[in-house]
Structures are given as C-alpha cells and as structure tokens.
Amino acid sequence: MRWPCPEENKGAERVTFSRGYDVCIMAIDGTWRRDCQLNSISDTEATLTVEGSIQGLNLKEFFLLLSSTGLAYRRCELVRVNGTDMDIHFLRGKNAKKRPGAASKSDEMMS
C-alpha cells in the first residue's frame, strides 16, 4: 500500500516489510493499546494493519511502539483509515503539532 507524499517528503526513502513487523499503537495517556503489523515506514510516515477494533479510540494523536519494551517509539497522528489499514504521520519536536521542515522560533532567532 502506498499513498501520495506531501511535497516536503518527496524522495523520502521507504522501507516495505514483506511479512510485516510486529509493533503496537498506544494512547498518549496509556489508556489503550493495540497490536499492529508495520507494513512500510519512512522518516515521516508509515502504514499499519491493526489487530482488533479501533472503534471509539482517540487516534488523533498516539504512540507507535517499535519495540516490545516501549523504549523505541514515535509520536503519531492518523492520516487515513481503510478497514484495518492505517496511514500515519510522525510528529516531531517539542511542539508535536509542528510538521517536519517547519522552522521554529528558536531556529529563526539563530539565523
């Protein structure tokens, strides 16, 4: 599965897993967790297949847990859901809502 990348992501390398890679998604506050298969990933986005129902879950912002111990994770936002498949975008920095490539005030001050 592949979706169009925004202009800022053109040329971003994507890794696709033929059998998927076991990961989890978890609420920011830890109130829910779902097992998933990571199908593909780049520096800025990924595609997942979720096991179990996601109905009623707050998917506006959540964590993608890349290790079973939870030590490797990314903060995410939902882009699209199609059945059990999800497209997600990674959030970065102190202000998690900021898109990659956007300059912060501190970056501007240092220029």
pLDDT per residue as tens digits for the range 40-95: 999 999 999 999 888 989 899 999 999 988 789 999 999 999 999 999 999 986 55
Q: Rounded to an integer, what distance in angstroms lies between the CA atom of residue 27 and that of residue 33? A: 6
Query: Tens digit of pLDDT for each residue in 5-27?
Result: 444 445 569 999 999 999 999 99
pTM of this structure: 0.71
Q: Rounded to an integer, what distance in angstroms lies between the CA atom of residue 12 and that of residue 25? A: 23
Does the CA dihedral 55-60-66-69 come out positive or negative?
Answer: negative
Q: Which CATH number applies to 13-92: 3.20.20.140, 3.30.70.100, 3.40.50.720, 2.40.10.220?
A: 2.40.10.220
- Let me know if 55 is exposed, middle or buried by CB neighbors in 10 A (0-12, 13-18, 19+): exposed
